[in-house]
Every structure is written in structure tokens, then in C-alpha cells.
């Protein structure tokens, strides 16, 4: 059975982290897996809990602690750091990314990994916008904004993918290496769209599967106009690289690793 590496970026998730890790463990009974939790500076007890759990299950858990220095979500930067650690320190064949707030159901891990193992895909995206999917506990306004943004990215980048923003993803080690060998420009959540564009341009086979997305009660009040404008500009820039200029390759040397954190200033 393929060994699985799960990247889990968190920030102040003490209410969810124990249940999430327990449900991952229950869902992956019989699997050989490692969860890499990257904590971006939690102050609610998340770090203390992770340290205790790490002492109890060192073979199933790795924790990276860092302090976020930029405003806004740096989820993309966290995912990239975890990806590099997984490539450098494990022989895992499959990589998974998921949120730390229980919006992604761990029970969907086995069927998605089975699909990835079927050899007809290099990347599997748990998509909110394919038949059979459902979104719960998310206000209508937020759902409409999400759909409109995804439609825009869908039109500007590639119509092969419907959901560019969902962070529940499964991919091969080769797909992970493709990202590591490409110069990444974004560490915000737009990283998710940038990475998909890189995979598509590189010829990686991307398939979408249904998912049940559990909203965390987020409303429109958390969306800032400046963030939407920045995201729109970023999508246009990514689109130019995807369709015209291509993505710059980045040779990896020891002293170059983890430098993606420094790119946050550009956003």
C-alpha cells in the first residue's frame, strides 16, 4: 500500500485539532501515513496539544512551528514548507493537503486515495462544483462569491478544472516534485490556483471528485475588497504565465529551500 503524507496547516485550532487527528487516524486504519502539522503561531493551546500528541505518536505525526510575519492568510506558504519537508524527509508516494478546521471530512481520504492509486490521475481535487458534491453551513452570500470567483479562474486559466480554491487535494510524489522545481510567487490562498495552473501546464492529469464541504460559519464580513482585488490581479498574472510565458523552473539547492516564505512580501 502506498505511504501517505498529509500536510495540515493550522492556526488557533484547539477546538478542532484533536477531533481532526482522531478522525484521520480512524479513516486511515491499515494505511502507512504521516501527518505534518505546520502551526503558524497559535496562541490558543494548539501548539501545546500538538507537542503532547507528538510525544505519544511520533511515528504518525510531525510538527513544524513557525511565526507568521505577514498580514492575511499565509496558507500557501505553509503548504509549500510542508511539501518540501515531506519530499526531503520521507519516501511517501502520495501527498494530501487539507484544512485544519474540519471543513474537509477525513472520511473522504480512503476513496480519494483509491482514485489516485487507480493510475488515471496524477492529481485528485475534492471539488465543491461537480455533481454529487454539497456545501453545508455556509451562508448563501459566501457560496455565491466562491462560485463566481471559481468561474472567473475557470475561464481565465483552464476549463479542465472547476474548483481552483478548495484545499482538499491528493497528488503523487512526482506532482509534488513538479511544484518544488517551479518558482512559486504566492504564499496566500491564491497559491492553490497557481499550483493547479503549474500542474496543468506540465501535463499532469487532474481529476475532480465530489466532496461534502463543511463551512465554518464564515460570512461576507470577513471578505475585504482589497483581498478580492489582489486575488483578481494574481489570477491574471498566473493566467499570463499559464497561457503565454510559462512557469519558471527553480533548481533546488540546500541554501534555496524554504525561501518561499520570503515571497509573502510581494502580496
Predicted confidence at residue 210, as pLDDT, reads 98
> DSSP states of 150-167 as a string?
HHHHHHHS-TT-S-SS--
What's the full length of the chain, in residues?
267
State which residues of the chain have pLDDT below 50. Answer: 219-222, 254-267
Beta bridge partners of 134: 212
Reported in sequence order, the residue ranges of the chain that DSSP labels E, i.e. its strands, are 4-10, 33-39, 61-65, 94-97, 123-127, 134-136, 169-172, 206-210, 212-214
Angle between the 17-27 and 109-117 helix axes, to the nearest 10 degrees? 50
Q: Rounded to whole angstroms, how far apart are CA atoms 1 and 203?
A: 26
Predicted confidence at residue 255, as pLDDT, reads 46
Q: Rounded to whole angstroms, how far apart are CA atoms 243 and 266?
A: 22
Closest CA to 258 of 97, 66, 71, 8: 66
Grid cell of 65 as nine digits: 512551528
Predicted confidence at residue 253, as pLDDT, reads 54
**Range(s) of the domain holding residue 147:** 4-266
Predicted confidence at residue 223, as pLDDT, reads 53
Q: Rounded to whole angstroms, how far apart are CA atoms 58 and 53?
A: 8
pLDDT tens digits along 161-206: 999 989 999 999 999 999 999 999 999 889 999 999 999 999 999 9
The total of structural domains in the chain comes to 1
The Cα angle at residue 211 between residues 226 and 225, in degrees rounded to 5: 5
Unique residue bearing C-alpha cell 529551500: 257
CATH at 54: 3.90.550.10
Grid cell of 247 as nine digits: 512557469
Predicted confidence at residue 71, as pLDDT, reads 64
Contacts (Cβ under 8 Å, ≥6 apart) of 153: 164, 165, 193, 235
Q: Rounded to whole angstroms, how far apart are CA atoms 194 and 238?
A: 6
Helix (H, G, I), strand (E, B) or coil at 242: helix
Torsion angle of alpha carbons 211, 217, 218, 219, nearest 10°? 120
What's the whole-model pTM score?
A: 0.90
Closest CA to 150 of 137, 166, 168, 139: 166
Predicted confidence at residue 75, as pLDDT, reads 86
- Tally of CB atoms within 10 A around 32: 13
Q: In what order do the strands lie in the sheet with 94-97?
A: 61-65, 33-39, 4-10, 94-97, 169-172, 123-127, 206-210
Amino acid at each position: 500500500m502506498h505511504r501517505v503524507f498529509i500536510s495540515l496547516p493550522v492556526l488557533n485550532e484547539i477546538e478542532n485539532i484533536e477531533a481532526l487527528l482522531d478522525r484521520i487516524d480512524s479513516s486511515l486504519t491499515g494505511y502507512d501515513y504521516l501527518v505534518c502539522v505546520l502551526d503558524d503561531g497559535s496562541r490558543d493551546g494548539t501548539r501545546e496539544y500538538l507537542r503532547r500528541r507528538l510525544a505519544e505518536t511520533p511515528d504518525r505525526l510531525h510538527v513544524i512551528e513557525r511565526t507568521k510575519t505577514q498580514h492575511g492568510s499565509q496558507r500557501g506558504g505553509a503548504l509549500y514548507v510542508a511539501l518540501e519537508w515531506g519530499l526531503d524527509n520521507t519516501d511517501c508516494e502520495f501527498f494530501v493537503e487539507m484544512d485544519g478546521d474540519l471543513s474537509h471530512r477525513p472520511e473522504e481520504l480512503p476513496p480519494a486515495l483509491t482514485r489516485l492509486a487507480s493510475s488515471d490521475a496524477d492529481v485528485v481535487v475534492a471539488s465543491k462544483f461537480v455533481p454529487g458534491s454539497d456545501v453545508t453551513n455556509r451562508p448563501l452570500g459566501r457560496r455565491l462569491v466562491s462560485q463566481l470567483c471559481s468561474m472567473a479562474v475557470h475561464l481565465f486559466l483552464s476549463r479542465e478544472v472547476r474548483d481552483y480554491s478548495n484545499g482538499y487535494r491528493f497528488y503523487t510524489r512526482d506532482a509534488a516534485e513538479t511544484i518544488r522545481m517551479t518558482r512559486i510567487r504566492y504564499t496566500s490562498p491564491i497559491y492553490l490556483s497557481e499550483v493547479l495552473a503549474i500542474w496543468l501546464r506540465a501535463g499532469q492529469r487532474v481529476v475532480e471528485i465530489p466532496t461534502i464541504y463543511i463551512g465554518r460559519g464564515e460570512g461576507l464580513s470577513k471578505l475585504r475588497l482589497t483581498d478580492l482585488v489582489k486575488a483578481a490581479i494574481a489570477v491574471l498574472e498566473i493566467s499570463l504565465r499559464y497561457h503565454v510565458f510559462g512557469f519558471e523552473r527553480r533548481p533546488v539547492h540546500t541554501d534555496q529551500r524554504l525561501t518561499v516564505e520570503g515571497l509573502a512580501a510581494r502580496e
